[in-house]
């Protein structure tokens, strides 16, 4: 609301106050503040917020804070891609994976980056690994199927992945779109 009214600083304060008053929602409010700072062109401040909260927790980081940290790395990567700075995008993903090796959300984001870089075979291998690790994840199945049909003309193979995704999440618009595309 504050952002729509043109007062991002007030929005930052509001999110901080809400997070402090509602500890259960603090990680989400922290992520919202970091993402708002990113939109304001201050990504380093956003990362400093989350890094500070992670540092405060020490060696064992709360799962919701970890998820916020991972989500912000993904947001930073996406922002860099949108700005056409694939090198920065790669740096953010590498940094995130350095902190959270094997984190599926970051690996999935890396597959999107590889596609942007034209590294389609590497992207396919990464998505295949994600599907092998999580065979019932409709997002990974759909992403792999869509990449195979849209960029590599491997339609029959793609259709199998998309059918599996659709069976798991039949109301998902992205998966329905992929099925229409592969057909």
Element (H, E) at 142: helix 138-150
pLDDT at 55: 87
pLDDT at 122: 98
Is 104:74 a contact under the CB 8 Å cutoff?
Answer: no
pLDDT band at 2 (very low <50, low <70, confident <90, very high): low
pLDDT at 1: 62
Tokens describing residue 154? 């491997």
Length of the chain: 183
- 101-145 per-position pLDDT tens digit: 999 999 999 999 999 999 999 999 999 999 999 999 999 999 999
pLDDT band at 58 (very low <50, low <70, confident <90, very high): confident
Residues 6+ away with beta carbon under 8 Å from 155: 148, 149, 182
**42-55 average pLDDT score:** 93
Query: What end-to-end distance do the CA atoms of the chain give, in Å?
Result: 42
pLDDT at position 157 over 70: yes
E-strand ranges in 22-181 read: none
> pTM of the full predicted structure?
0.89
């Amino acid at each position: 609301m504050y952002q729509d009214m043109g007062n991002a600083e007030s929005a930052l304060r509001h999110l901080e106050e809400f997070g402090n008053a509602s500890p259960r929602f603090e990680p989400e409010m922290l992520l919202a503040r970091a993402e708002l700072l990113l939109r304001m062109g201050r990504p380093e401040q956003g990362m400093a917020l989350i890094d500070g909260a992670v540092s405060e927790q020490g060696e064992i980081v709360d799962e919701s804070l970890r998820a916020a940290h991972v989500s912000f790395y993904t947001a930073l990567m996406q922002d860099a891609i949108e700005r056409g700075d694939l090198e920065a995008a790669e740096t953010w993903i590498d940094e995130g994976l350095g902190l959270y090796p094997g984190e599926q959300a970051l690996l999935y984001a890396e597959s999107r980056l590889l596609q942007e870089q034209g590294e389609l075979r590497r992207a396919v291998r990464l998505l295949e690994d994600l599907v092998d690790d999580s065979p019932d994840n409709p997002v990974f199945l759909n992403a792999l199927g869509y990449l195979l049909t849209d960029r590599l003309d491997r339609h029959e193979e793609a259709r199998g992945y998309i059918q599996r995704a659709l069976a798991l999440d039949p109301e998902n618009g992205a998966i329905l779109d992929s099925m229409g595309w592969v057909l």
